Amino acid sequence: MQILKNTDQDFSAKFQALVNERREVTVDVSGTVQEIIADVKVRGDAAVKEYTNRFDHYHPQSFRLSETYIAEHAAKCPVEVTTALEVAAQRIAAFHEKQLPQNIAYTDTLGVNLGLNWVALPTVGIYVPGGRASYPSSVLMNALPAKIAGVERIVMVVPMPRGEINPVVLAAAEIAGVTEIYSIGGAQAVAALAYGTESIAPVDKIVGPGNAYVAEAKRQVFGRVGIDSIAGPSEILVVADSNNNPDWIAWDLLSQAEHDPSAQSILITDSESFALKTIAAVEEILVNLSTKEVASASWEKHGAVIIVSNLEESIFLLNQLAPEHVELCIDEAQVFASQIKCAGSMFLGRHTPEAIGDYVGGPNHVLPTARSARFASGLSVYDFVKRITYLQCDEQALQNIGKAAITLAEAEGLPAHAGSVAVRLT
């Protein structure tokens, strides 16, 4: 973990190194993934079964989980967890329902009828990781916006190592309205969703996080289908003054560090004393934290504390880092937030830990990482709809604008374009 002070002579160089740090997996798996995708395209179900047996030690008779199986296993979810999922689902749905866009329709002064219609994608595939990253909350965050957008077929793929699955994942899928669930994962699952097999019809877009193989597979099938993003390790940046409790901020920093050894937690403060107290609190919490191994690796290798002379100076630094999550544990947090241009999601005030956003806040927790918040946004209803524009000219409207179209078509050397308009004007 490094400490940077903006008064140090080498601060600019150190900060730029922090900005440029690459924490993604550097192992090149593109060749392996390419082979798996090619195999699934040719052999379909047979290839998927072979890879599922090899990687997950599981060989089901049918990939698709039956309604009975889903219901029976979802029922094993503890009642209090199901209740919490329902609370989260209600809040997530309420926020995303407000995102539904409106169609546009009008006639301009020259008599041309113009418009734009929003339509839902017909079918979407959701990748849900297994193992360490099996998060039921992500099922809600990925499936509910799709359902609210009007997607009719929502397909979920989830690996089941040795035939085991977390009942909470299935409970979340039921609540979120997932229509099909298949017990497959890895690059082979992405390939099956993109190209289809004998038993799995293809989808139009694939969303959801996964390991390096899943991420690379999404990259390679993009164009055949849409994808949400290529997710990287988690990030949190906390801006805090000395009026905070160091223990609170320490827990916030570790909330992302425990995700992955490559995750990054950064504190920016204008108090060196508070910075040192927070660092000490992190070390104290780590002693008994059940996720200590992962969180410690993240904090020690990628953690950072930046001490500035004035918190206003942190705005430029924050926009350069473009973090996935930003906590503003300060007075007048909304005023400060209005100056932030590059962040995935913001959590304002001293009583809004980022973890609330992970579960029950309402906004989506699928957010841009690796500085992509400079140009990308979190998952939303907009990711599951597309725009179709239309034009309608009557005879007079075409007379009004057609001559300009002919002139431009001729300037571009496209006589058929010009002719298609001109023939209607004669």
Q: Which residues are designated catalytic? A: 324-325
Backbone angles phi, psi at 382, to 5 degrees: -60, -20
Strand partners, 346: 326
Residue spans of beta strands (DSSP E) within 310-353 = 325-329, 345-348
**CA distances to 159, 213, 400 from 377, in Å:** 28, 23, 40
Residue spans of beta strands (DSSP E) within 282-415 = 304-307, 325-329, 345-348, 385-392
Backbone angles phi, psi at 389, to 5 degrees: -95, 160
**CA distances to 12, 13, 19, 208, 319 from 16, in Å:** 6, 5, 5, 30, 13
Listed in sequence order, the residues at least 6 apart from 84 whose beta carbon sits closer than 8 Å to its beta carbon are 359, 360
210/231 Cα distance (integer angstroms): 8
**Pairing between β-strand 123-127 and β-strand 2-5 as defined by DSSP bridges:** unpaired
Residue spans of beta strands (DSSP E) within 12-110 = 104-107
Backbone angles phi, psi at 378, to 5 degrees: -70, 165
CA 90 to chain centre: 20
- Structural contact between residues 176 and 413, judged by C-beta atoms closer than 8 angstroms: no
Listed in sequence order, the residues at least 6 apart from 201 whose beta carbon sits closer than 8 Å to its beta carbon are 123, 153
C-alpha gyration radius of the chain = 25
Greatest alpha-carbon span in the chain: 85
Length of the chain as a residue count: 426
**Pairing between β-strand 113-120 and β-strand 385-392 as defined by DSSP bridges:** antiparallel
